[in-house]
Amino acid sequence: MRLIAPSLAALCLSAALAVPAAAQEAPRFAFFSINQLVRTSKKAGAIFSELEITGKNLQEKLAAKGQELQTMQQQLNSPSLDPEKKDALAKKFRDAEFEAKKMQEDSQQEYQRVEKKVGDAITKLAAPIVEGLAKEQKLQLVLSDQAVQILSWADQEWMKGFTTEVAKRLDASEGAPAASAAPKPAAPKPAAPKK
């Protein structure tokens, strides 16, 4: 899954502005990848797991609703269906389609909310480390994930180096991540009594 952290650009810019540029020196910069951080840092990965769990739960709910619609569609297409029951089932199907569309919109909004929350939490933890490492290495600029889109070529190991060091320092830092408890899967609804 991808993780978009809009505040990451501000973080990288603040790290660049923290060290004044020497007019005579060649620019010193590094590359920071929040996606790599999530994959390599236990703390960042633990926070990110909330987004993965949320995404999985939402997908399961949408898949169940899709299966319900598919079953109703098959019933509607059955030639043996009584015409009186077909009208009632067609109305029920239209209602279920509306519910599915609403569920899709709500799921997307929920995913985006959790994505922002998780991105903000990871950025909050990583920001002081990125800034401190940038000052320690006397960097003038720290590029983010979005910079990859404009690169024609780069040494992949060099690109991973700065983030690898951030991940090591993050995991070595005191305290557990301030991740909220992962959402629990929804309890199954009791079966409706048969009529």
Q: How high is the pLDDT of residue 18?
A: 52
The answer to whether position 182 is within a domain reads no
Position with higher pLDDT, 24 vs 43: 43
Strands 141-143, 29-31: pairing is parallel
Q: Is residue 193 part of a domain?
A: no
Task: Give tens-digit pLDDT for 50-73.
Answer: 999 999 999 999 999 999 999 999
The answer to whether residue 194 sits within a structural domain is no
Enter the tokens of residue 35: 């996606």
Q: What are the beta bridge partners of residue 142?
A: 30
How do residues 81-124 score in pLDDT, each as one tens digit? 888 888 889 999 999 999 999 999 999 999 999 999 999 999 99
Half-sphere exposure of 164 (CA within 13 A, CB side): 6
Question: Does 195 reside within a domain?
Answer: no
- The answer as to whether 188 is a domain residue is no
Determine how many CB atoms are found less than 10 A away from the CB of residue 180. Answer: 12
Whole-angstrom distance, CA of residue 172 vs CA of residue 8: 21
Q: Is residue 1 part of a domain?
A: no
Q: Considering the domain boundaries, does residue 102 fall inside one? A: yes
52 in any annotated domain: yes
**Tally of structural domains, the chain:** 1
Range of the domain at 99: 7-19+27-148+156-172
